[in-house]
Structure 1
């Protein structure tokens, strides 16, 4: 397995992976699904291409021995912190340590660009995910924000809030 930066050539495979892990029936094979909270797609080709083109951002991908992308994480430099989003592991491979490896790679990347902390948002009702991040040293900052998603990325089944979580690295 190798964790490396994604390129524009990876976009179609990444779109399929991310949508399969977050939304729809396929996501229910894993424990990180949002399918019961949000309908629709999580990402599309155009927005992922924009993220990869952003000079302040990188998507790290994990590629297995067959050359398939099995996980990824989005990182964007914001001042002296890095925002982490879209930590994704193929639903059939979850709970095998790949998420932890991607999180460690994200923290290594953060240090490599001389940033001091990783910050993220997590839906407040996702207690199993919050607990997972807390076991890895992340803490709630005490701040919550309303989850608002653009129409092209689905619709909320109920109003949702997100905790802002952070870890110094």
Structure 2
């Protein structure tokens, strides 16, 4: 049985393990979305996740199969747009359509909140990931943003920046 539901504070420890395991370190290299070659350090921590969950304009959707947490996505309403971040799928479960299901749920959340578009930032050198989003209707806006100089986001192994992507919601 699968479910997509909003995260609660009880989910924080398992979310922390999922996100860090999917983005950084050796375990992340099992999946195609790893950032381990670009960044060292952690992707998030329990305090950061708690702050996300306490934001009244935000939610983290969780994806579970048979009660096992396999994916999540952070969504935050900003005016008439929904910001999407931290789309995560367990490396062992990637290529099973979980990311697409979470993206579909995010787009429904945008409609439910009467948002006009979904925006996100993606590290510019993540070419395969950018192409994956483009196949789902997201387009680069041409805007770039600097990568944060903050160890809580990770320690870059090379100069990094974000590209801003957007999809209009109808």
TM-score interval for Structure 1 and Structure 2 normalised by the shorter chain: over 0.9
Please, which runs of 5 or more residues in structure 1 have no aligned partner?
none
| TM-score, reference length from structure 2 | 0.97
1:154 Cα deviation (Å)?
A: 2.2
SS of residue matched to 1:137:
coil
1:28 has 2:29 as partner = yes
Aligned to 1:98: 98
1:41 has 2:60 as partner = no
Q: How does 1:1-169 map to 2 (within 5 A)?
A: 1-65=2-66, 67-169=67-169
Please, which runs of 5 or more residues in structure 2 have no aligned partner?
none
CA distance in structure 2 between the aligned counterparts of 1:22 and 1:75, rounded to whole angstroms:
18
CA distance in structure 2 between the aligned counterparts of 1:72 and 1:32, rounded to whole angstroms:
14
CA distance in structure 2 between the aligned counterparts of 1:136 and 1:153, rounded to whole angstroms:
26
CA RMSD of aligned residues (A): 0.8
CA distance in structure 2 between the aligned counterparts of 1:10 and 1:72, rounded to whole angstroms:
11
CA distance in structure 2 between the aligned counterparts of 1:104 and 1:146, rounded to whole angstroms:
28
SS of residue matched to 1:99:
helix
CA distance in structure 2 between the aligned counterparts of 1:59 and 1:148, rounded to whole angstroms:
21
- Structure 1 runs of 4+ aligned residues shifted over 6 Å read none
**Against the structure 1 CA distance between its residues 149 and 73, is the aligned structure 2 distance closer, same or farther, given a 3 Å change threshold?**
farther
| TM-score, reference length from structure 1 | 0.97
